[in-house]
Amino acid sequence: MVKCYYTDEGFETITSCCPVPIVIAGGKKLPELDALKMSYNAIQQGASGVDMGRNIFQSEDPIAMMKAVRGVVHEGLTPEQGFAMFNDLKGK
């Protein structure tokens, strides 16, 4: 398994050339919707998963964000659907 940062350009080339699964690092803290978009784009471009720290634990509601990321990565939600889930679960 390889952990690397997501890049807006050329990420599909990285995933298509790598002989082992790739998970993306969460990187710097992003607004929740942007982190979900990054996760979605990475999965669509061949990543096997995400490994996020600060984008989960520095979120307004870490549990809601964890569930939203799971929805995007494992359940096929769009970033907007994941963000709606985050907002629905926030504070519960």
Bridge partners, residue 50, by sequence: 24
Count of C-beta atoms within a 10 Å radius of residue 76: 10
Q: What is the pLDDT of residue 82?
A: 98
Q: What is the pLDDT of residues 43-67, one digit of tens each?
A: 999 999 999 999 999 999 999 999 9
Asked if residues 45 and 15 have their Cβ atoms less than 8 Å apart, the reply is yes
Mean pLDDT of the region 22-30: 96
pLDDT at 91: 83
Query: What pLDDT band is residue 92 in, cutting at 50, 70 and 90?
Result: confident
Query: pLDDT averaged over the chain?
Result: 96
Candidate list 3, 29, 37, 67, residue with the active-site label: 3
Q: Is 28 a catalytic residue?
A: no
pTM: predicted TM-score of the whole model, two decimal places: 0.94
